[in-house]
């Protein structure tokens, strides 16, 4: 093989490598949806959404069944309104519940849907009324510090 042929193969290899890196970066950032499966939109209201972001996964039994499409604040109730797009192949009962969960101790947050037992399913544009807000780590630490400080103050006063 001559020098020009080797240079062409190396160039092709570099281009394929760059295309692979772009594909991997888009998949890792959840920016590329290479599937054409359209779904239906549902909403849920939460008192605190924590660090949930648009494009976060929606999972049921650990399986990704959709994505968060938008997050807004209801000006009347001051609740976070989360709109999700769920795969059309998955139908959830009307009395299903939604929780904001965290992947690992400090991982990204996602919506977890637990199916209910109703005979009727959520329709497109439906609303999940049973929700559980995100557990905010800073709030838990603050409560722990406050309770420990209160215990130390009451024990210190009792020993005098």
Chain segment 22-81, per-residue pLDDT in tens? 988 887 766 655 555 578 999 999 998 988 899 899 999 989 999 999 999 999 999 999
Alpha-carbon gap, residue 88 to 21, rounded angstroms: 30
Q: How much is the CA Rg of the chain, to the nearest whole Å?
A: 24
Chain segment 115-145, per-residue pLDDT in tens? 988 898 888 888 998 888 877 777 778 888 8
Q: What is the pTM of this model?
A: 0.67
CA-CA-CA-CA torsion sign (106, 133, 53, 34): positive
Q: What is the DSSP string of 42-77?
A: EEEEES--TT--TT-EEEETTEEEEEEEEEEE-TTT
């Amino acid at each position: 093989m001559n020098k020009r042929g080797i240079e062409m193969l190396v160039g092709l290899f570099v281009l394929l490598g760059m295309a692979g890196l772009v594909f991997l970066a888009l998949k890792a950032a959840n920016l590329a949806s290479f599937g054409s499966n359209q779904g239906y939109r549902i909403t849920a209201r939460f008192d605190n959404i924590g660090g949930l972001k648009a494009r976060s996964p929606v999972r049921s039994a650990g399986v990704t069944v959709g994505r968060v499409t938008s997050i807004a604040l209801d000006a009347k109730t001051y609740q976070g309104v989360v709109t999700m797009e769920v795969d059309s192949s998955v139908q959830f009962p009307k009395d299903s519940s939604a929780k904001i969960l965290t992947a690992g101790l400090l991982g990204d947050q996602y919506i977890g849907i637990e199916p209910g037992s109703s005979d009727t399913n959520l329709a497109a544009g439906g609303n999940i009324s049973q929700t559980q807000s995100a557990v905010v780590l800073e709030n838990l630490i603050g409560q722990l510090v406050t309770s420990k400080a209160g215990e130390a103050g009451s024990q210190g006063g009792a020993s005098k």
